[in-house]
Amino acid sequence: MASNCCGYCGRRTWALLLLATAIPIALIASLERAATATNGSLRYRSGGWLRECAKWDHARRRFLISTFFDGGVAEIRLPAISDGSDGSDGSDLQERTFIADADVAGNASLGILIDAKRDRLLVVYAEVMGLSSSAVAAYGLESGERFFLTRLSRPEHLPASPDPSNISFVTCE
């Protein structure tokens, strides 16, 4: 008899625990949906799993997004203002690939910077798993044409014990 009581009490405890955790999760999901449904917010469908950062390209009315695992840059163009739609009416915006560079395939794009003065986009690439390869590249903001690709490290040229003070900084003036 004791085993039946413990089995019954155990099931009831698990059911209460499940119910107690389901309510806060449902509440959080409801609040998230309500927050993104307000005026002025934008919704879009992503073609990938994880996005690292986004920058606004004012001249071309688009967001540029660095794609972590895809190793490139995507864009989300906003509709023209004259058509009365700003993307907040519930219509989904589409993410499209803007830059997919074969020379850095297998690396993640870990950061982007819009250099409006020179009309270019700077992208920082690195190997995610081994952290043994990194590069900086510049692309035209209009065409996506690559201007340069500078490899900061390559697996075959790494020293046996790298000096921790070898740090590279990228700045735009």
- The string of DSSP letters for 33-67 reads HHHHTSTT---EE-SSS-EEEEEEEGGGTEEEEEE
Q: How far apart are CA 28 and CA 31, in angstroms?
A: 5
Q: Tell me whether residue 37 is exposed, middle or buried, using C-beta atoms within 10 angstroms of its C-beta: 0 to 12, 13 to 18, 19 or more.
A: exposed
Query: In whole angstroms, what is the distance from residue 121 CA to residue 116 CA?
Result: 8
122-168 tens-digit pLDDT: 999 988 777 677 889 999 999 999 999 988 875 555 444 444 555 55
Rounded to two decimals, the pTM is: 0.63
Cα–Cα distance for residue pair 97/103, rounded to 1 Å: 16
Angle (nearest 5°) at CA 126 between 141 and 76: 35
Q: 77-135 pLDDT, tens per residue?
A: 887 765 444 444 445 688 899 999 888 888 888 889 999 999 999 999 988 777 677 88
